[in-house]
Structure 1
Amino acid sequence: MTDIEARTVAGVFDSVVEAIGNTPLVRLNRLTAGIAATVYVKLEYLNPGASVKDRAARAMLLAAEVSGELAPGGTVIEATSGNTGVGLAAIAAAKGYRTIVVVPDKVSAEKIALLRAHGAEVHVTPGGRPVDHPEHLRSVALRLAAEIPGAWFAGQYDNPANPAAHRATTGPEIWAQTGGGVTHFVAGVGTGGTITGTGEFLKEVSGGAVQVIGADPDSSVYGGGDGRAWYIESVGHYLHPETAEDLWPESYHPAVVDRLERVPDVTSLTTLHRLAREEGLLLGGSSGTAVAVALRVARELSVEDVVVVLAPDSGRSYLSKYFDDEWLGRLGFPLLSAVTEPIVADLLGDPEQAQRPRVVPSGVTVDVARELLGDAPVLPVVLQRVAGGVPVVAELLGTVVAETLAAAPGADLVTQHLGPPLPVIGTTEPLARAVARLGDHRGPVLVAHHGRAVALIQDDRLRAAVAAANGSTVHAEVAG
C-alpha cells in the first residue's frame, strides 16, 4: 500500500480535493415497513461540499487543468442550480482560482449563501427563460466566459468528465459496499451524469444484472411530462414553451436507464419529511424524489434484492423552503406542524375536485385573450403552450384586465399588456395568515394546492371567513 492509499484509508488528506467520495450507505428501516427488499441510501451530503456534485466538480476541474483549458490564476465559471457551483467554488478556493457561478432565481437562499461563503461571485438570473434567451443562465455564463481572460466554462451538462466521475468513483463504491449484492440502483436525473456514470459501471460489472431506475418530477420531459415547472430543485428537464429545439444534456445517456418513474412534488416533499422524522435523515428535495421511487420499486421485490438509492444533498440547503411551514403553506403543500385553526381548504371542500380557474396562456393575442376573458373582469396569465391544463403557480406571469384590453390592438401579444400577478394563497395555510398576507388587496385571489392553481376566490369571502372564525372563538370564550 502506497503512502497516499494508506492516508486515504485512515481519512487523512492533503487537501479537500482528496476528501471527496467514499460516502456511506445507510439502510432504511421504518420507511420500509412491509417491504421485503433491503433499501440503502447513499449519503452524498457527506462530501466536503455537501453534495454528490463534488465528484463531477473535481473531475471536470482536474481534466481542465490537464488539458490546459484552466491555467493558474484562471477563472472557473458554471451555470448551475447550486450544488455543482458549491463543489467547484470549494475546490477552486483550495487551488487558488476565482469562481463565478450563475444560478436561476428559484435556487434556495442557503445555496447562494454557501456559494458566497466560498468566495464565489454569484449572478442570479430570472427564471422562465428559454434556452437561447440572453438572460438564460447558460447564456449568461457563456457570455462571461467569453469576456473574461483566462476563464473556463465547466459546462456540466455536456462535459464528459461529469459521468466519468461516477464511473470511476460512485459505481465502484456501491459495488464494493454491497459486496456485489446491489440489484437495483435509483437516482434522479438532472444533468444525467450521476445516473449515467454509476449505471454504466454497475451494469458492466454485474454483466447487465443491475437494474437502473431514474426518478423524475412528474412534469419533467425525461419521464414523458410536458415540461412545466415544478418545485423540487436540481432534478428533471424543464421545457420552456418558447424553446425552439429541446436539447438533452450530453452527460445523460438514456440507454443506461431501464425505466423512469415520475413523482409529484407533494410525494417528494412528504417523503422528505418522513425521512427526517422517521429515519433521522435530513435530505434535499431531489433525494425525496429518488427515495420515493426506491420505495415504489422495492415494494415489487423479494428479500434477495438490494436497492441502492442516491441522495444528492442535505436538507440543510433547503430549510427556508421544503422544511418551512410558511413556504409550504403558501403553495398548498402539507405542513410540518399540526394546524388546529381553520385553513384555506375549508372554504373549498376537496381541493382535488375544485373547479380549475380559467387562465390565459402567454402566447395568445389580445383578440384571443378577450374571448377567453368573457365576462370576467380579470384573469391570470400563465406561461404555457396551450390553454388547457393546470397552471403552475411558479409560472404565473401577471394578469389581463378587461378594461385594459378594451383599448389594446387586437394583434398584440397579451404579454404586452400585463398587469401585476394576483396574490396566491395555499390550501394548507391557516386562513388568518393567508388573509394577513393579502394586506390591502381587493378582488380575486389565486388558491394553490400542491403547487398548482386550483381556484379563484374573492378576498371578501376570505375576510368574512376569518371574521366569522374570530367571532366564534370570542363567543365560545365568553360562553365558557
Structure 2
Amino acid sequence: MSENACPAKNGAIESPYRIWKQPDLPSKCTYYNAKSMAESPHIHRNIEPKPAIMPNILSNIGNTPLVRINRITEKENIKCEVCIGIALGAAVKGYRCIIVMPEKMSMEKVDVLRALGAEIVRTPTAAAFDSPESHIGVAKRLMEEIPNSHILDQYRNASNPLAHFDGTAEEILRACNDKVDMVVLGAGTGGTLTGVARKIKLRCPNCKVIGVDPEGSVIAEPETLNKSDTSFYEVEGVGYDFVPTVCDRQLVDKWYKSKDKESFVMARRLIREEGLLCGGSCGSAMYCALQAIRDFGLKEGQRCVVLLPDSVRNYMTKYLSDDWMSQRDFLVSEKKIEPTEGWWWNLNVSALQLRAPLTVTPQVTIQETLDVLNKEGFDQVPVVNEAGDIMGMVTVGNMMSQVVKSKVKSSDPVSKVMYKQFKKVHMDTSLGQISRMLDTDHFVLVVHDQRQCTAAPDNSGREFIIGFMDNLIYPKSHSWYASGKLLGNQLFITTSSKSNVVVQVTAPRCNHFLNETFSLRAGEVKQLTISRDFRLSGTEMTEKGILIKATDDIVIYGINKETYSNDGFLGLPTDVLGKEYFAASYGPATIYCLILIIGIHDDTEVNIKLSGNQDVSVTYNGVTYYKEQSMIVKINRYTTFQIKSRGDLTGTYISANKIISVLSGNKKTKIGSGKSQDHLVEQLISVDKWGKRYIAVPIPERAAGDTYRFIASESDTNIKIWGQRGRHLEVNEQAKLSVPGSWTEKSYSADIYLYIEASKPILVVQYVLSQLNTGYSTDIGDPSMILLPPVEQYDADYTFTTPKYSLGSYYNYFLFVVKEGEENGLRVNGKPVPTTTTYTKVPNTNYVGGFIKIPEGTYQCKHTNPTSVFGAVLFGRQYMESYGFPAGLRLSPINKPCIQTAMIPGDGYDNDCDGLIDEEICYDQWQNQGKKIFKS
C-alpha cells in the first residue's frame, strides 16, 4: 500500500494530514489516470491480477476437443463433489446437468443445485463405490442411457491436480514468500492434495506434507490406519471407500485420521473464534494440523499452511445446529427439563436396564437371518463380527425388498444388504436425546462399550523409567566384532490406541543427549536405537535413567544387543512397580551376574541383601560385600545403580522405602552343556504381584530342553510340579523352599509342558539353553531368561512387536496357554490361529498350551470372548542368539492381605478373595446376555 499523501486533496492544500473531510470544493488534485500508479500521491492498493482458474473454466466449457468432436451440446451428466461449480458452468452454457450424490449430502447443497437448474439423483450412502447403487454406478448407468452425455470424473481427470499445481500451490507459495514448513491437506478427490503437495515439495523440499482422512475412509497409509469399526462418517467432501486415481499418496509424509466429533467441534471453533465460515472437512484439517504441529515439534516462526477448502453455506442445518450435533452425541445438550417433556427426559439409557440384542455375524445368509428374526419376533438386527465390532444393521423390509428386486439372492450373506448409516448412542445418552433422534430415524443402536471401566493394571502405561545393563562388546580385532545401526540398545514402542499417541523419550539427568518425540497409533511400532553410552559398566552409580512418557497407554520392550550377545525385557510402567524384589540371574556366571536398580522418586533408600550363593561378592566405594550381607544406598529419580558379581545373584533381596525399578540377569553366560553364551535380562516383577500357579510351554523346535528356577518369597514354601509330553505324564515331583529368596533348579527334556503349584507365592524363571554346537543346525539358539506370567495374572489382550536379529531376522514364536475348549477364540491380528496348530494338555489343569510361528511385525492378540484370559510369551532364536520375555501380563497386587469387597469390573483386585483378580475382565453382563448367530 502506498503511503503517499496528496496535499491538494479536498481543497486542503496546506494540510499535511490525511484526514477525510466531506468535500465542499472541487478537487484541486492534478493527478490523472493516464499517469503511472507510482506517481499517484493517493493511498492505493496494488491490484492483484485476476485468478486464472475461473475464466479458464468458463472459456473452456463447450470448447474442449471432446465436446467439439462429439458435439456434446445439449445434455451432460455430471457426478462431482464440486457439483455447485459445475452446475454454475452448466447454467451459463445452457447444458442439462444431472448431479448424482449420496444421501448424506446436505439439503442446502441440493437446494442450491436445484435453483441452478440441476436435476438431483440421490443414492444410498452405504453403497460401496463399485456397486450399481453407488453414486458412481448410477452416474455410469445414466451416461449409458442418455445420448450425448458425459461424466465429469474428477477422480481420474489429470487436469484436477494440474489446476492446483499451477494455481492453488502458487498462491500459497506467493503468500508465504516460498517458505512453507508444513502443509495440511484433506484427502478429497486427491487433486488438491497431489497438485499442491507436488509443487510445494519442488520449491520447499523440507516441507512436511500432512494428509487428513476420516475414520471409515481407506485413503490413508499405512493400511493399518484404516482399520476401524466405523464405516460411516458425517463429514462431507473428504474420504472415500476407494483410492482416487489422481491421489498420489506417496507425497504425504504422515497421515492422520479424523473423527466426526472432533471435526465438527473444531469447525464450530473456527467460526466462533476465528470468524472463518468453513465446513466440516475444514475442521478435520485443522484438528489434525494441531496434532501434527505437536508431533513434528514446529516452533514459533515456522509456517504451517492448512487448506480450508469449504464454506459453511451447504451445512447450515447440519453441524451449525445444536440439535443436530446433540442428536449425534457430538455436543452435550444443556437443555433443561420442560414439564411437557416428561419426567424421563434426562434419564440415561442405562436406567432402562436393557438386555443385549440378538446379533448376527456378516457371513450368515439372508435367508437364515430372516428365519431367525421371524422366530424371535424382531424387525432388525445388528451385524457384529467375531471381535465384537458393529459392522452394520439389517432390517426385514430391506432384505425382502432387495431379494424381490433380484439385487441379491437369499443365499447371499447379510453383509450385502446391511445399512452402514445409522445412529449409535451409548449407555450415558439421555432418553430426551434419543426421543429427538427418533423424530427423524426409525431406530438407534445402543452401543455398550466392552470396557467401560478402569482397566486392570498391566504392562501398558503412560510413564516408564528404564535402563540398560552392561553387555559384552568385542574389540575391533576380534573376528566377532561388528558395528551397525542394529547393534546397541533398542526400544520398541507400540500401542493399541486407535487415536494418535504422542510419545517422548528423554534422559533428564544424563550427560548423553536423548530427546525423541513421535506419535503412534494402533498397528504402528517405533524402533529407537539408544546409544551404548547409556549402558552401565561394572558396579557403579550413574544418572542414566531413561524416561518414556505418552499421552495414552503404550507398550515397550527393551533389547540389549551386541553381536551374539542379546536379550530383551518387557518394560513395566511406573504405576505397577513395587518396593520388594528378588533377583534372578544364572550361575556359575561365565562373565558376571548383574542387578540394575533405577530410582523413581528422589530420596529413596535401597537395601540390597546379597544371596547366599557361593562366590557372591560386590565391591562398591572400596568396600566388598559378601553373600548374605546387606548394602544400603540412597538414590534419586533417574539414578541408575548396577552391581556385578562372579557369584550367582539369584535370590538377592532388594527392598526400598519408595517404589523402584529393578532389572537383573547376566552380562553374558552359557547355560547347560552347550558352549555358546548370551546376554540375560528381565525387568523384575515386584513380590506383591507373584502368583502360586504357573504353566510353562517348552521352547519350541529345540532339542536341548529347558531349565527352570523357582524362587520363594516366604518361608516353608511347598512346590508341586507336573509335566506332560503329548498325552503322557512324565514329571510328578515336589520341592520345598525353606526361607525367602531360596530357590531350586530343575531341568527337563524338550517338549514337556509343566504345571507348577505352590503353597505360597513364587517366581518361576525359564532359561533357554546354549546351542549344542557352533555350526548351523536345527537347534540354533542361545541362552535367554524369561519370567513366566502366573496364571492369576493372565490377560485377555496383548499388544507386542518382534525385535530384529543383529545379523538379519529371527525365527519368532508366540507361545500361549488357554483354557481347553476356548482355543478357537484366539485371534492374532484379527485372524484365528492356524488350523495346523497343536494343542497339548497341561496336566492337572483345564488348560492347553501351544505355539505358532510369526514373522517380524507388530501384533495384537486377543480372545473373541473378553472374559477369556490366556498366557503369552514371545520368543525368538537365530544362530547363537535368542530373546524371550512375556508378551504381557496383568500386574495387580494379589499378595497383599485380602479383604472381601464389592465386585467392581476392571478394578484390578481380587474382590471375592478367591485367588483370582478381575475374573470378569471388565465383564459386560449386558453384552454377554445377548445371543449371537454364527454361520454354521
> 1-side partners of 2:132 and 2:193: how far apart?
30
TM-fit CA distance, 1:187: 1.0
In 1, are the aligned partners of 2:267 and 2:278 still within 8 Å (CA)?
Answer: yes
Alpha-carbon displacement from aligned partner over 1:195-243 (angstroms, at most 9, x marks no partner): 000100101122x2221110111222122314722111111122xxxxx
SS of residue in 1 equivalent to 2:211:
strand
TM-fit CA distance, 1:123: 1.2
Q: Does 1:249 align with 2:250?
A: no
Match of 2:232 in 1: 229
TM-fit CA distance, 1:90: 1.0
Q: Does 1:76 align with 2:72?
A: no
TM-fit CA distance, 1:287: 0.7
In 2, are the aligned partners of 1:72 and 1:97 still within 8 Å (CA)?
Answer: no
Q: Measured at CA, do residues 327 and 391 of structure 1 come closer, stay the same or move farther in structure 2, by a change above 3 Å?
A: farther
> 2-side partners of 1:159 and 1:417: how far apart?
30
SS of residue in 1 equivalent to 2:307:
strand
Q: Measured at CA, do residues 127 and 417 of structure 1 come closer, stay the same or move farther in structure 2, by a change above 3 Å?
A: closer
Alpha-carbon displacement from aligned partner over 1:31-67 (angstroms, at most 9, x marks no partner): xxxxxxxxxxxxxxxxxxxxxxxxxxx39x9387332
In 1, are the aligned partners of 2:126 and 2:420 still within 8 Å (CA)?
Answer: no
Q: Measured at CA, do residues 376 and 422 of structure 1 come closer, stay the same or move farther in structure 2, by a change above 3 Å?
A: farther
> 1-side partners of 2:300 and 2:418: how far apart?
58
TM-score normalised according to structure 1 size: 0.66
TM-fit CA distance, 1:274: 1.4
In 1, are the aligned partners of 2:155 and 2:246 still within 8 Å (CA)?
Answer: yes
> 2-side partners of 1:180 and 1:11: how far apart?
18
> 1-side partners of 2:415 and 2:173: how far apart?
56
> 2-side partners of 1:117 and 1:229: how far apart?
29
In 1, are the aligned partners of 2:126 and 2:419 still within 8 Å (CA)?
Answer: no
SS of residue in 1 equivalent to 2:82:
helix
Match of 1:293 in 2: 288
Counterparts of residues 52-451 of structure 1 (less than 5 Å): 58=57, 62=60, 65-69=63-67, 71=71, 73-80=73-80, 83-206=81-204, 208-223=205-220, 224-226=225-227, 228-238=231-241, 248-299=243-294, 300-335=297-332, 338-341=334-337, 346-348=348-350, 359-365=359-365, 369=369, 378=378, 380-382=380-382, 386-391=385-390, 395-398=392-395, 412-413=411-412, 415=414, 426=425, 431-432=431-432, 434-435=434-435, 446-447=445-446
In 2, are the aligned partners of 1:76 and 1:99 still within 8 Å (CA)?
Answer: yes
TM-fit CA distance, 1:355: 10
What is the identity, as a one-letter code, of the residue corresponding to 1:109?
M
Q: Measured at CA, do residues 421 and 130 of structure 1 come closer, stay the same or move farther in structure 2, by a change above 3 Å?
A: closer
Higher alpha-carbon Rg: 2
Q: Measured at CA, do residues 365 and 144 of structure 1 come closer, stay the same or move farther in structure 2, by a change above 3 Å?
A: closer
Match of 2:567 in 1: none
In 2, are the aligned partners of 1:330 and 1:425 still within 8 Å (CA)?
Answer: no
TM-score normalised according to structure 2 size: 0.36
Q: Measured at CA, do residues 192 and 446 of structure 1 come closer, stay the same or move farther in structure 2, by a change above 3 Å?
A: same
> 1-side partners of 2:137 and 2:235: how far apart?
23
What is the identity, as a one-letter code, of the residue corresponding to 2:237?
S
SS of residue in 1 equivalent to 2:318:
coil
Alpha-carbon displacement from aligned partner over 1:225-275 (angstroms, at most 9, x marks no partner): 14722111111122xxxxxxxx52111011111111011211111111211
Q: Measured at CA, do residues 310 and 322 of structure 1 come closer, stay the same or move farther in structure 2, by a change above 3 Å?
A: same
TM-fit CA distance, 1:308: 0.6
What is the identity, as a one-letter code, of the residue corresponding to 2:181?
T
Q: Measured at CA, do residues 446 and 107 of structure 1 come closer, stay the same or move farther in structure 2, by a change above 3 Å?
A: same
Unaligned stretches of 5+ residues in structure 2 = 1-36, 38-45, 338-343, 398-409, 450-923, 927-936
> 1-side partners of 2:304 and 2:278: how far apart?
18
> 2-side partners of 1:303 and 1:176: how far apart?
21
> 2-side partners of 1:269 and 1:132: how far apart?
29
TM-fit CA distance, 1:76: 3.2
In 2, are the aligned partners of 1:17 and 1:91 still within 8 Å (CA)?
Answer: no
SS of residue in 2 equivalent to 1:203:
helix
> Which structure is higher in helix share?
1
TM-fit CA distance, 1:154: 0.8
Match of 1:17 in 2: 54
> 2-side partners of 1:346 and 1:417: how far apart?
34
Using the TM superposition, name which of 426-435 and 180-189 deviates more: 426-435
In 2, are the aligned partners of 1:74 and 1:152 still within 8 Å (CA)?
Answer: no
Q: Measured at CA, do residues 98 and 449 of structure 1 come closer, stay the same or move farther in structure 2, by a change above 3 Å?
A: farther
TM-fit CA distance, 1:416: 11
> 2-side partners of 1:370 and 1:72: how far apart?
49
Q: Measured at CA, do residues 267 and 399 of structure 1 come closer, stay the same or move farther in structure 2, by a change above 3 Å?
A: farther
Could you say what the CA RMSD is over the residues aligned between the two structures, in angstroms? 4.3
> 2-side partners of 1:114 and 1:381: how far apart?
37
> 2-side partners of 1:434 and 1:290: how far apart?
30
What is the identity, as a one-letter code, of the residue corresponding to 1:225?
N
What is the identity, as a one-letter code, of the residue corresponding to 1:295?
L
In 2, are the aligned partners of 1:361 and 1:381 still within 8 Å (CA)?
Answer: no
> 2-side partners of 1:447 and 1:131: how far apart?
28
SS of residue in 2 equivalent to 1:152:
coil
TM-fit CA distance, 1:72: 6.3
> Which structure is higher in strand share?
2
Using the TM superposition, name which of 252-261 and 363-372 deviates more: 363-372
Q: Measured at CA, do residues 429 and 86 of structure 1 come closer, stay the same or move farther in structure 2, by a change above 3 Å?
A: farther
SS of residue in 2 equivalent to 1:221:
coil
Residues matched between the structures, number: 377
TM-fit CA distance, 1:173: 0.4
Q: Measured at CA, do residues 211 and 449 of structure 1 come closer, stay the same or move farther in structure 2, by a change above 3 Å?
A: farther
What is the identity, as a one-letter code, of the residue corresponding to 1:234?
G
* Higher RCO (CA < 8 A, seq sep 6+): 1
What is the identity, as a one-letter code, of the residue corresponding to 2:360?
V
TM-fit CA distance, 1:417: 13
What is the identity, as a one-letter code, of the residue corresponding to 2:94?
G
Q: Measured at CA, do residues 438 and 123 of structure 1 come closer, stay the same or move farther in structure 2, by a change above 3 Å?
A: closer
TM-fit CA distance, 1:304: 3.2
Q: Measured at CA, do residues 63 and 93 of structure 1 come closer, stay the same or move farther in structure 2, by a change above 3 Å?
A: closer
